[in-house]
Chains A and B, each alone.
Chain A
Amino acid sequence: MLHWLDANFVSLLNGVAVGMLLFTMAVGLSLIFGLMDVLNLAHGAVFMLGSYVAFELVDDGRGFLPAVLVAVVLGAALGVVMAFAVRPLVSRGPLDQALLTLGLAFVLSNLALAVWGTDFHSVRPPPWLDGSVELVGHTYPVYRLAIIVLGLVLAAAVYLVVERTRLGAVIRAAVVDRAMVSALGINVSLLLVGVFAAGVMLAAFGGVVGAPVLNVRPGLDSEVLILALLVVVIGGLGSLRGAFVGALLIGQVQALGVALLPEQSSFLLFGAMALILLARPSGLFGEVSR
């Protein structure tokens, strides 16, 4: 057992890191879907935009913080615009809203292609997170350890805001009964714009954080969107706790699972999803119906 643990230590640890990276990808998507019932298919494109911001502003690892700030502001602004764009379609149901975000995804990804072209870029982590360390005899990149910490902090922060603050309580109330909350004198539409902005902002933030690991390139948008959807579906649509557990699970499938069964690696990801959905059709933490 101990030998097995030692042999697969890097894979296990990396599973956690990949899981946390997946969580930063999926949290914004889950937030918007859970609180507003809008499936934001432009999520991956915004993530990619965040990565390009990192590519532009980070020079040899310096300028990471400004990049984060710019991406966050840009993401929030984009989120506000998207919230207003989606609003007229609310009465027409989730399909039309999702299609609008899909259109936005096309616009954003082609914009990125026009501005940055087809080249691949890499972003160096901040100097104090660059390089690798020895952990019980195994080499492991420092930046991935930082992602683990960051993912945990992010999860805690989102959980606390949504579940433990007055603002969170109001948002959750607005999800259940908008008219009632509105009658209490709270500006619900402003509230929902804020939620949308926060979700899109998290996507842009994830783009900066993920850039040193995933690299900056065209096509990143669709890869991220698919993975984020996968995490959210496995976790249960709209459940933040589900997104967290789903991300950790997929992380282990991607790291440990692939290390143990390299020949089957293509099937593992969707195989795991199929198994989980067979057992729990609404995902790990999804409600059965509402």
Chain B
Amino acid sequence: MSAGNGHGGTPQVPAAAAPPGPVGVGRRTLLRLAGAAGAALALPQLAAACGSSDGGGSGSGGASDELRVGLLLELSAVYAVNGQDMRSGFELYLSEHGGQLGGRKVNLTVEDIAGDPAVGVQKATKLLRQERVALASGIVTSSVALAVRDMFDTSKVPLIISNAGANSLTRDRKSRYLFRTSFSNWQPNYSMGQWVYDNVAKDGVYAVAPDYVAGHEQTDAFKEAYTKAGGKLAGEVHPPFATTQDYQPFLSQIRKANPKAVYAFFSGGEAVTFVKQYAEFGLKDSVPLVGPGFTVEGVLEAQGDAALGVRSGLHYTILLDNPTNQRFVAAYRQKFSKDPTVFSVQSYDAAQLIDLALKKTNGDTANQEAVAEALASVGEIDSPRGRFRLDATTHNPVQPFYLREVRKVGDRLGNVKIGDLGELADPG
């Protein structure tokens, strides 16, 4: 396993941020400095791309030799915490099944894609050309998934996306070799529209999400369902993605609109900052906060009491009381000494999907069409989230959605299921 997370969290100083002033040292020196800094920053990625070639090996698989599987994960930058959860989920399934999928010993290659499409393409190339993986999984961010989609499509290597939610990945950009065990951005948000209209506010809901594709898709899907139910938004704002440390200006703008509720999508560290500042600037007590579950998923401990009372829709909560989930949560806690999140589950299920499909092909991955066929037709999957299946044409999960509320559970915070939002398939 050649883990690509050796250079996580390194400072990414764009050359433009280096000082251009001519004081003290000459302008030319500083320009050289900026250039050198840029080059030095690119180095670890180059090193990661060139190094660690543990033998090309024969990828095309008879049923007896090792099964090469690649994981493309965000192990650094904004969504590193989600990438780590996905890695853990996949590894848990493997260790529960003797390191085997479809009866074959798995040789797992983990690559850090850092949420960067360019790095993603580089690492996908490595997996396909050098490692010759039979299947790949992972990917937190949609931009990376969209960037590597064609590579997997043309090389006919199945890619099981275990987070990236861009609607198009299972709509106009869908592929015979593209699968998703997570969600389309449309799903969790559409599931909330009618409920918010019925139970929170008939109008005057303010929507906020970061300014990137997923952020817009999330609020658009909510808006679609909410206005269909008869609701009317009070406004909408999209703070810059990954560069906003302070949401105060946006919170002030929201307050000026005097909304009856705020519908917010954020994830990872941004979710921590937003939810805490929402409370600090006094909105928590006067304006209910609702949203898709990501806003309060895996970050409750860092958000603390600021998250209390947030209601959200998602296809999972760690507190689901089905036996599969209880077993999963216990095993996960024991192995990693931390709680699983929806991201862990999606990746666990990606491993499970591969396992079920390869059992149908008797472990054979030489016939790529047959593998894709098997992945598309495994039927119901017994997941910690409840039972779900992949839609035959879109390859997107058809799954139940739950309404959750952040409450104190013992001395900790948890997303308690307070209702069902029904089973939902992406319209495709």
A interface, CB within 8 angstroms of B: 7-8, 10-11, 14, 18, 33, 37, 39, 41, 44-45, 93-95, 98-99, 102-103, 105-106, 109-110, 112-113, 117-122, 124, 132, 138-141, 213-215, 217-219, 221-223, 225-226, 229-230, 232-233, 236-238, 254-259, 262, 265-266, 270, 277, 281-283, 286-290
Structural contact, A14 and B304, CB atoms closer than 8 A: no
Closest 5 pairs (CB-CB, A-B): A139-B282, A222-B11, A218-B9, A259-B249, A258-B249
Structural contact, A237 and B23, CB atoms closer than 8 A: yes
Contact of A266 among B18, B44, B77, B243 (CB under 8 A): B243
Question: Total number of A-B contacts with CB less than 8 angstroms?
Answer: 194
Q: Number of contact residues on B: which range applies?
A: 35 or more
Known A-B contacts A41-B37, A222-B10; the reply to A8 vs B252 at CB < 8 A is yes
Contact of A99 among B24, B40, B281 (CB under 8 A): B40
Structural contact, A221 and B9, CB atoms closer than 8 A: yes
Q: What residue of chain A has the Cβ atom nearest to residue B79's Cβ?
A: A118
9 contacts between A and B (CB under 8 A): A39-B33, A105-B11, A138-B282, A215-B272, A222-B10, A226-B17, A236-B23, A266-B240, A289-B22
Mark contacts of B197-237 with chain A using CB atoms, 8 A cut-off: 1 yes-contact digit, 0 otherwise.
00000000000000100000000000000000000000001
Mark contacts of B271-286 with chain A using CB atoms, 8 A cut-off: 1 yes-contact digit, 0 otherwise.
0110010001110000
Structural contact, A132 and B282, CB atoms closer than 8 A: yes
Known A-B contacts A281-B21, A282-B22, A286-B23; the reply to A122 vs B302 at CB < 8 A is yes
> Considering the chains assembled together, what is the distance between the CA atoms of A72 and B9 in angstroms?
23
Structural contact, B282 and A233, CB atoms closer than 8 A: no
Interface centre among B11, B76, B256 (most CB of A within 10 A): B11
Structural contact, A110 and B280, CB atoms closer than 8 A: no
| CB of B20 closer than 8 Å to a CB of A | yes
What residues of B have a CB within 8 angstroms of the CB of A218 in the complex? 8-9, 76, 80
Structural contact, B304 and A122, CB atoms closer than 8 A: yes
> Considering the chains assembled together, what is the distance between the CA atoms of A229 and B272 in angstroms?
26
> Considering the chains assembled together, what is the distance between the CA atoms of A10 and B37 in angstroms?
38
Contact of B249 among A238, A256, A286 (CB under 8 A): A256
Contact of A14 among B37, B211, B246 (CB under 8 A): B246
Contact of B21 among A223, A255, A265, A282 (CB under 8 A): A282
What residues of A have a CB within 8 angstroms of the CB of B9 in the complex? 109-110, 112-113, 118, 218-219, 221
CB distance from A30 to the nearest CB of B (A): 11
Mark contacts of B1-20 with chain A using CB atoms, 8 A cut-off: 1 yes-contact digit, 0 otherwise.
00001111111111011111
Contact of B44 among A106, A119, A238, A255 (CB under 8 A): A106
Contact of B33 among A98, A222, A223 (CB under 8 A): A98
Known A-B contacts A44-B11, A95-B32, A262-B249; the reply to A10 vs B21 at CB < 8 A is no
What residues of A have a CB within 8 angstroms of the CB of B12 in the complex? 222
